[in-house]
Amino acid sequence: LETAQSYLASGDYYWNSGMFLFKASRYLEELNKFRPNILEACEKAIAVENADLDFVRLDEAAFTACPDESIDYAVMEKTTDAVVVPLDAGWSDVGSWTSLADICEKDESGNSVQGDALLQDTRNTYVRSEKKLIAAVGVDDLVITESDDAILVAHKDRVQEVKKIVDRLNAQNRSEVKLHRKVYRPWGAYDSIDIGERFQVKRITVKSGAKLSLQMHYHRAEHWIVVKGTALITNGDEEILLTENQSTYIPIGVVHRLENPGKFDLELIEVQSGGYLGEDDIVRFEDTYGRA
């Protein structure tokens, strides 16, 4: 604290907003000088990149091996070829839920609300709801946020400790660390709406003209029910056309494919059943998007 106060009192120091401006080539030169192992890991990762529509998929193993160090520590604190430009603009990097609450409009009790929420005898609280109704009674100085993935309730003074929750999720190998409930794919998206022992239910959306890979599973069977649009389905040796309220069953080990031949999005419910329901239980025989 004493050191920080001396910095402020002297007027000789600036707060680093984390915005840097440079040519890519110059940055790579400096990175190679100070942290060549980071540069090497990134070069290996991009050397085997795969195009996935608008995305570039890097080699996971190579990129994971890259040291976890920010540009500030890796380069900017070491380079002798940089200047600092002062800016007085009421800066906020909105780096936490508390700082987000600070810039939002507030009611007469100091509350900020986004989405569906009812507050009773509640003050200085930030509430964000994406789908569910949030009710808060008799609380002060909280952050309450709801999404498809999780619900967070934290005191405003301790929101940065959410990092400790992430560490615990990692230690427990929880799926929330790796995947959102709704996952986007080149052909559309799927939303995992329910999961239990030996079953999982997904809502699948397939874009017009798109199709999933020709595939099979070793550990799960699938039941598809069309709720909107038209589905062209390969189910073993059979090719069938299904419309709303029609369904088909795909046993374990049967090669299958889902395609949307219509002009509108196809929506269906997929019920998976089996002893293992992981996303890595998939064998692709043919894929429009070049996935292995």
Helix, strand, coil fractions of the chain, as percent rounded to 5: 25, 35, 45
Q: Is residue 176 part of a domain?
A: no
Q: Is residue 292 part of a domain?
A: no
Q: Is residue 254 part of a domain?
A: yes
136 with 191, same domain: the answer is: no
247 with 187, same domain: the answer is: yes
Nearest Cα to Cα of residue 277 among 198, 191, 172, 204: 198
126 with 198, same domain: the answer is: no
Q: Is residue 82 part of a domain?
A: no
pLDDT score at 292: 65
If DSSP codes are grouped into helix, strand and coil, which group holds residue 154? strand
Phi, psi dihedrals of residue 146, rounded to the nearest 5°: -130, 135
CA distance 256 to 238: 9
Q: Is residue 88 part of a domain?
A: no
The number of C-alpha atoms within 13 Å of 243 and in the hemisphere containing its C-beta is 1
Structural domain that includes position 22: 2-76
CA distance 96 to 145: 12
- pLDDT tens-digit profile of 13-40? 988 888 899 999 999 999 999 999 999 9
pLDDT score at 52: 65
Of 76, 109, 134, the last residue of a domain is 76
143 with 205, same domain: the answer is: no
70 with 101, same domain: the answer is: no
Number of domains in the chain: 3
Of 109, 127, 162, the last residue of a domain is 162
pLDDT score at 163: 92
**Which CATH number characterizes residue 254's domain?**
2.60.120.10
Residue 81, number of CB atoms within 10 A of its CB: 8
CA distance 38 to 67: 6
pLDDT score at 229: 97
pLDDT score at 49: 78
7: pLDDT confidence band, cut at 50, 70 and 90? very high
Beta-strand pair 112-114/126-129? parallel
CA distance 187 to 195: 23
95: pLDDT confidence band, cut at 50, 70 and 90? confident
Q: Is residue 81 part of a domain?
A: no
% of the chain beyond a pLDDT of 70: 98
13 with 104, same domain: the answer is: no
Alpha carbon distances (Å) from 189 to 50, 90, 288: 20, 40, 16
CA distance 258 to 169: 34
Q: Is residue 144 part of a domain?
A: yes
Beta-strand pair 142-146/247-250? unpaired
106 with 54, same domain: the answer is: no
Of 41, 76, 111, the last residue of a domain is 76
69 with 115, same domain: the answer is: no
pLDDT of 287 > 80? The answer is yes
Q: Is residue 216 part of a domain?
A: yes
Mean pLDDT, residues 62-66: 91
pLDDT of 116 > 90? The answer is yes
196 with 248, same domain: the answer is: yes
